[in-house]
Amino acid sequence: MSQKIFSHLDSENNPSMVDVSEKAITKRTATARSIVVLNEEIMANFKEGDIQTKKGAVFQTAIIAGTMGAKKTSDLIPLCHPLGLDSCKFAIEVSGNEVIIDCTCSLTAKTGVEMEALTGASIAALTVYDMCKAFSHDIIIRETKLTKKTGGKSDFIRE
């Protein structure tokens, strides 16, 4: 069994962008999830599929912000490749006091889009926080995780 190594270190242990020049171009997708837990005071404003605030519709704004974040991933995370996304889609579901944000990014390229999906979901969650904090700071961004990746060397699905 070969020993795993960190891919963002060169032979002298210096930070380095991964060389993808020899990789095959394939269709790649990734889905990430962030969960935001809101209190009852905030959830009392959930009507007709969104939370309405003085700043506007929370989920609609979160989708726009998350999309912008996904597109700027390489500006935020130093060793990420700049990618031209083919698609960035969001699904937002409310379950009790939880807002479940799924971000799915896809493209046809030599490298995957996991970081873009994770960034999109994270920025959308932070936007929910920002827009709801006037009601209460009792807001928890409970988790952000990769739930699915396809294309490239290996696929991944988290149950």
List active site positions. Answer: 130
Residue 32 near residue 144 (C-beta atoms within 8 A): yes
Residue 13, sorted as left (phi over 0), alpha (psi -120 to 50) or beta, turns out to be: left
Two tokens, residue 27: 């269709």
Question: How far apart, in whole angstroms, are the C-alpha atoms of residue 116 and residue 139?
Answer: 24
Residue indicated by tokens 């020899």: 22
